């Protein structure tokens, strides 16, 4: 068995994964995505020597291209291109969850400033506007009134990327000063954390504090249903606690970070990922 790990930068998560592979005497190879060259019409590199490749690229677009190419070569990846493509796009994730009747915040999409304002008023102020692709809480805005909506949508119209011209709006959930990030690895939900903040955005990249969260049967079931809806694998599921509707799935991340969660909880996430890879290869 020979496993590849393709990555952008040697972060602490990658160090832990490499150490776990080494400790378990599993044959593996480090692959920097910045150094990769793919000849699409006639593969010029012996990819067949890999039984599986774990994709740890930081860039969403780069990771999607990598999984598309590797899967086309017949090389399994964690996660697959199909799963990665769904999770990387909030609209695709919303549709996948809706198709399985999984509770989530109300979400609308519009394509012009005028219709985006109308969509927001259908939800009611305040509401949230997000880019369809992105992470770490970047360009996520709370819209408190029409003046704010007009300003935000005008800015997005001027921004050059076509993705900013797709307006994804979501109801604002009155969460209790926190959200939940749970980690799904195959059929297991081994660990979860609360992300607590006085700010309405509860993302650790923006300063939220992580504390342990017990994985209850309800939380496990919600996470497993969400993961299955997008195709399963190694995923981070973000949930919101609604006072009336209970747990709502907010987003699903296909290249999860766990540098805070592993030391906080003592759960050996790198070895659980390796266990999952080995199980998938049986």
Distances (CA, A) of 160 to 106, 154, 163, 164, 282: 28, 12, 9, 8, 46
Q: What is the pLDDT of residue 251?
A: 96
Taking only the tens place, the pLDDT of each residue in 37-85 is 888 987 667 788 999 999 999 999 999 999 999 999 999 999 999 999 9
Q: What is the pLDDT of residue 162?
A: 76
Q: What is the pLDDT of residue 164?
A: 81
Q: What is the pLDDT of residue 231?
A: 98
Q: How many C-beta atoms lie closer than 10 Å to residue 137's C-beta?
A: 16
Share of the chain above pLDDT 90, in %: 84
3-state SS, one letter per residue, for 38-80:
CCCCCCCCCHHHCCEEEEECCCHHHHHHHHHHHHHCCCCEECC
CATH 3.30.470.20 occupies which residues in the chain? 88-93+174-271
CATH 3.30.1490.20 occupies which residues in the chain? 107-171
Cα dihedral 247, 253, 254, 259, rounded to 10, equals -110
Q: Residue 136: which pLDDT band, with cuts at 50, 70 and 90? A: low
Reported CATH class of domain 2-86: alpha beta
Name the residue among 169, 195, 173, 191 with its Cα closest to residue 182.
191
Q: Which CATH superfamily is domain 88-93+174-271 in?
A: ATP-grasp fold, B domain (3.30.470.20)
CATH 3.40.50.20 occupies which residues in the chain? 2-86
Q: What is the pLDDT of residue 44?
A: 61
Whose structure tokens read 């949930």?
239
- Average pLDDT of the residues in 182-194: 99
Share of the chain above pLDDT 70, in %: 98
Q: What is the pLDDT of residue 79?
A: 98
CA atoms in the 13 A half-sphere facing the CB of 143: 28
- Average pLDDT of the residues in 234-256: 97
CATH of domain 107-171: 3.30.1490.20
Taking only the tens place, the pLDDT of each residue in 151-173 is 999 988 887 677 888 999 999 99
């Amino acid at each position: 068995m020979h496993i590849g790990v393709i990555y952008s930068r040697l972060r602490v998560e990658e160090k832990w994964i490499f150490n776990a592979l080494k400790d378990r005497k599993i044959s593996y190879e480090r692959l920097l995505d910045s150094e990769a060259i793919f000849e699409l019409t006639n593969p010029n590199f012996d990819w067949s020597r890999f039984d599986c490749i774990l994709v740890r690229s930081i860039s969403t677009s780069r990771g999607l291209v990598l999984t598309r190419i590797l899967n086309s070569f017949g090389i399994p990846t964690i996660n697959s291109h199909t799963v990665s493509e769904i999770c990387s796009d909030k609209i695709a994730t919303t549709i996948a969850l809706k198709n399985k009747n999984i509770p989530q915040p109300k979400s609308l999409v519009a394509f012009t400033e005028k219709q985006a304002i109308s969509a927001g008023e259908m939800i009611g102020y305040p509401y949230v506007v997000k880019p369809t692709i992105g992470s770490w809480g970047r360009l996520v805005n709370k819209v408190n009134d029409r003046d704010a909506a007009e300003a935000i949508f005008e800015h997005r119209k001027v921004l050059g990327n076509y993705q900013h011209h797709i307006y994804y709006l979501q109801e604002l959930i009155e969460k209790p000063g926190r959200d939940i990030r749970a980690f799904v690895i195959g059929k297991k939900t081994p660990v979860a954390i609360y992300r607590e903040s006085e700010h309405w955005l509860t993302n650790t990249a923006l300063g939220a504090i992580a504390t342990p969260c017990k994985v209850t049967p309800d939380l496990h079931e919600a996470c497993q249903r969400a993961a299955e809806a997008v195709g399963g694998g190694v995923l981070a599921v973000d949930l919101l606690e609604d006072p009336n509707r209970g747990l709502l799935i907010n987003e699903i991340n296909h290249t999860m970070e766990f540098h805070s969660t592993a030391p906080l909880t003592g759960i050996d996430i790198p070895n659980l990922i390796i266990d999952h890879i080995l199980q998938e290869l049986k």
